[in-house]
Amino acid sequence: MSRNDAAPGTVTAPPGRIRRMLSHLYIQCLIAVLLGAVVGGLWPSVGADLKPLGDAFIALVKMLIAPIVFCTVVHGIASMGNARAVGRVSLKALVYFEVLTTVAMVLGLVVVNVVKPGSGLHVDLSTLTTKGLPPEATTAHEGFAEFLLAVIPATLVSALTGNEILPVLLVSVLFGFGLHASGEAGLGIARGIEKLSAVLFTLIRWIMRLAPVGAFGSMAFTIGNYGLGTLRHLAMLVGSFWLTALFFVLVVLGAVMRLNGLRLLPFLRYIKEELLIVLGTSSTEPVLPRMMAKLQHAGASKPVVGITLPAGYSFNLDGTAIYLTMGSVFLAQALGIDLSLTQQLTMLAVMLLTSKGAAGVTGSGFIALAATLSAVPHVPVAALALVFGIDRFMSEARALTSLVGNGVATLAVARWEGELDEDRAKAVLRGDIPYAPVPAPSAVTAEPDPKQTPAPEVMPEPTRDQVPAAS
């Protein structure tokens, strides 16, 4: 029977429509995540061997994060008319980060004390050992002074070759102020940096085509290596953590968006591709460049995005904040240790420090939990062996919550600074101005046509084009 001779009442999807659906990155990532889970579940050994696919994709993106953050921040600061605004943006961002992180920790503390997922386990501490834990979990952790000193790189260039975002931010801010103060002498360098950022985002666009491959490999490894059976023993902790993270996103972050005249659910739809990539890789780092471009496309100015979003990757890990309080109290409950309110508040104060500086990569929350237990005497570090096997199943929730939290923070700070085009933001979130990256000009030396709208991947200043009227 030909396609034209289909039975009456039968609805067939046109091949062109299917091809268009499959061309969307979020559809490709969703299929890849599901296939990875199937492969890991049916063939665990094969799934465990696919880990290099996810690691390679993350490594490809990470090698471009430092130069992209540098170019974005430097050009944003150099093009600002008032350099004092940078300090004002930074201060507002840090205050916001501290408040929301504290709210996340208190929420986790309340839930774990109400649900009590560790009660009744009666684990014998003598049966636990630190053998098998990551080396980072059992080594001495730096204090606050060492953390601040580590922000200063050994050289100007070494910040761009390391794995930490904070040294890159420090160098970028200083260099941007230097260009801003140099007047005519710095204009040529600022233009060169802007052109370099266009090249870097072209590379990112190419690399992101491999996102489904990375998500497939990472999910297959997670299911194949750890197995869904691991969840049965600690399902209450994993389930309560995911529900707490969901509550924080929908209620707390939703309220922040409402206070700033925007809505959360359209924003989640807007970043659905990034959310699926994070779900597959358990890391927020691969989507940092795309988030910067999308937030600028939504009307936030380049300096605010360039400062707030990268800083949030170290100072605004909302998902990790929830995990720290729930994880530490859960371990105490499992060991039969009765923590008083004073002891829990003391641990919370320590967590406000240990949660800072953690990179948005897989396992960083577990290392931050180890640092917390090392700093307080209430729960032994060996207790981490209880949650090590299921940590990977909670890392996705940590990463997703932190990603949404940093996106909301950037829009909020931009609005407070008057650096958010609210009409454009609403139109973008409604879908009236879709985000559609286009290839950069083939000739790098070609001057852009001022009459054309530059590609969002090049991260231009938010354009103020006409906003379609709401239907």
Say what the pTM is.
Answer: 0.73
So what's the pLDDT on residue 231? 61
Q: 385 versus 363: which is more confidently predicted?
A: 385
Please tell me the distance from the alpha carbon of residue 424 to that of residue 468, in angstroms, as a whole number.
9
Report residue 447 CA to chain centroid gap: 34
Q: Are 376 and 339 in contact (CB under 8 A)?
A: no
So what's the pLDDT on residue 122? 65
**Rounded mean pLDDT of the chain?**
77
pLDDT of 118 strictly over 60: yes
Nearest CA-CA partner of 274 in 257, 293, 290, 254: 290
pLDDT of 264 strictly over 90: yes
Q: 83 versus 111: which is more confidently predicted?
A: 111
pLDDT of 103 strictly over 90: yes
Mean pLDDT for the stretch of residues 186-196? 82
So what's the pLDDT on residue 358? 52
For 187-191, which contacts have Cβ atoms below 8 Å and span 24 or more sequence positions? 190/74, 190/75, 190/78, 190/79
Tens-place pLDDT, residues 132-186:
555 554 555 555 566 677 778 888 888 887 777 778 878 888 888 888 777 777 7
So what's the pLDDT on residue 408? 95
Mean pLDDT for the stretch of residues 88-92? 84
Residue 453 confidence class, pLDDT cut points 50, 70, 90: very low
Q: Give the relative orientation of helices 341-354 and 318-334 as an angle to the nearest 10 degrees.
A: 140
pLDDT of 214 strictly over 70: yes
Express as a percent the part of the chain with pLDDT over 90: 16
Mean pLDDT for the stretch of residues 49-74? 82
Distant-in-sequence, close-in-space partners of 23: CB < 8 Å, separation ≥ 6: none
So what's the pLDDT on residue 449? 46
CB count, 10 Å around CB of 339?
A: 18
Highest mean pLDDT range out of 268-272, 318-322, 435-439, 457-461? Answer: 268-272
pLDDT of 341 strictly over 60: yes
So what's the pLDDT on residue 381? 72
List the beta bridge partners of residue 186. Answer: none
So what's the pLDDT on residue 30? 80
Mean pLDDT for the stretch of residues 453-470? 43
Q: Are 322 and 241 in contact (CB under 8 A)?
A: yes
So what's the pLDDT on residue 159? 80
Least confident of 110-124, 277-291, 372-386, 420-434: 372-386
So what's the pLDDT on residue 470? 41
pLDDT of 375 strictly over 80: no
